[in-house]
Structure 1
Amino acid sequence: MQPTYRPSKIKRARKFGFRKRNSTKSGRKILAARRRKGRASLSASK
Protein backbone atom coordinates (compact mmCIF):
# COMPACT_ATOMS: atom_id res chain seq x y z
CA MET A 1 0.00 0.00 0.00
CA GLN A 2 1.28 3.46 -0.82
CA PRO A 3 1.21 6.43 1.56
CA THR A 4 -1.98 8.47 1.20
CA TYR A 5 -0.16 11.80 1.45
CA ARG A 6 2.60 12.42 -1.07
CA PRO A 7 3.46 16.12 -0.80
CA SER A 8 4.11 18.07 -3.99
CA LYS A 9 4.49 21.84 -3.85
CA ILE A 10 3.41 22.28 -7.48
CA LYS A 11 0.20 20.25 -7.09
CA ARG A 12 -0.62 22.10 -3.86
CA ALA A 13 -0.07 25.49 -5.44
CA ARG A 14 -2.17 24.62 -8.49
CA LYS A 15 -5.07 23.30 -6.44
CA PHE A 16 -5.10 25.73 -3.50
CA GLY A 17 -2.85 28.53 -4.67
CA PHE A 18 -3.58 32.23 -4.83
CA ARG A 19 -4.14 32.28 -8.59
CA LYS A 20 -6.57 29.37 -8.41
CA ARG A 21 -8.52 31.00 -5.57
CA ASN A 22 -8.60 34.35 -7.35
CA SER A 23 -9.88 32.81 -10.58
CA THR A 24 -13.33 31.87 -9.23
CA LYS A 25 -16.06 33.86 -7.55
CA SER A 26 -16.22 31.55 -4.55
CA GLY A 27 -12.43 31.50 -4.34
CA ARG A 28 -12.35 35.29 -4.10
CA LYS A 29 -14.92 35.02 -1.29
CA ILE A 30 -12.56 32.69 0.58
CA LEU A 31 -9.68 35.16 0.17
CA ALA A 32 -11.87 38.03 1.35
CA ALA A 33 -12.94 36.05 4.42
CA ARG A 34 -9.33 35.23 5.25
CA ARG A 35 -8.37 38.90 4.85
CA ARG A 36 -11.22 39.90 7.18
CA LYS A 37 -10.03 37.39 9.75
CA GLY A 38 -6.51 38.78 9.44
CA ARG A 39 -4.75 35.60 8.35
CA ALA A 40 -0.99 35.74 8.03
CA SER A 41 -1.18 33.74 4.78
CA LEU A 42 -4.14 33.85 2.43
CA SER A 43 -3.41 30.72 0.42
CA ALA A 44 -0.86 27.99 -0.27
CA SER A 45 1.11 30.20 -2.63
CA LYS A 46 1.45 33.82 -1.52
Structure 2
Amino acid sequence: MQPTYRPSRIKRARKCGFRARKATRGGRKILRERRARGRHKLSD
Protein backbone atom coordinates (compact mmCIF):
# COMPACT_ATOMS: atom_id res chain seq x y z
CA MET A 1 0.00 0.00 0.00
CA GLN A 2 1.07 3.56 -0.63
CA PRO A 3 0.59 6.46 1.74
CA THR A 4 -2.72 8.25 1.14
CA TYR A 5 -1.37 11.72 1.96
CA ARG A 6 1.48 12.90 -0.25
CA PRO A 7 1.91 16.61 0.46
CA SER A 8 2.95 18.87 -2.39
CA ARG A 9 3.37 22.59 -1.81
CA ILE A 10 2.59 23.46 -5.43
CA LYS A 11 -0.66 21.47 -5.52
CA ARG A 12 -1.71 22.96 -2.21
CA ALA A 13 -0.97 26.51 -3.34
CA ARG A 14 -2.91 26.03 -6.58
CA LYS A 15 -5.92 24.66 -4.75
CA CYS A 16 -5.96 26.64 -1.48
CA GLY A 17 -3.60 29.55 -2.10
CA PHE A 18 -4.47 33.24 -1.98
CA ARG A 19 -4.47 33.66 -5.76
CA ALA A 20 -6.70 30.60 -6.20
CA ARG A 21 -9.16 32.14 -3.73
CA LYS A 22 -9.08 35.52 -5.48
CA ALA A 23 -9.76 33.90 -8.85
CA THR A 24 -13.34 32.76 -8.15
CA ARG A 25 -16.42 34.41 -6.73
CA GLY A 26 -16.78 31.78 -4.02
CA GLY A 27 -13.12 32.12 -3.12
CA ARG A 28 -13.46 35.87 -2.71
CA LYS A 29 -16.41 35.23 -0.39
CA ILE A 30 -14.23 32.93 1.74
CA LEU A 31 -11.56 35.64 2.01
CA ARG A 32 -14.21 38.18 2.99
CA GLU A 33 -15.59 35.90 5.70
CA ARG A 34 -12.14 35.16 7.07
CA ARG A 35 -11.28 38.86 7.16
CA ALA A 36 -14.55 39.55 8.98
CA ARG A 37 -13.60 36.97 11.62
CA GLY A 38 -10.23 38.65 12.01
CA ARG A 39 -8.07 35.78 10.84
CA HIS A 40 -4.34 36.49 10.71
CA LYS A 41 -3.88 33.92 7.96
CA LEU A 42 -6.44 34.18 5.16
CA SER A 43 -5.12 31.30 3.07
CA ASP A 44 -2.04 29.14 2.53
TM-score computed with the length of structure 1 as normaliser: 0.90
Which string of whole-angstrom CA distances, capped at 9 and with x for unpartnered residues, describes residues 1-46 of structure 1? Answer: 11111111111000100001000001000000000001110001xx
Alignment map for 1:1-46 (pairs within 5 Å): 1-44=1-44
Q: Structure 1: where are the runs of 5+ without partners?
A: none
- Kindly report structure 1 stretches of 4+ aligned residues shifted beyond 2 Å: none
Q: Give percent identity, aligned residues only.
A: 68
- TM-score, length-normalised on structure 2? 0.93
Q: Which is richer in helix? A: 2
Let me know the Cα RMSD of the aligned residues: 0.6
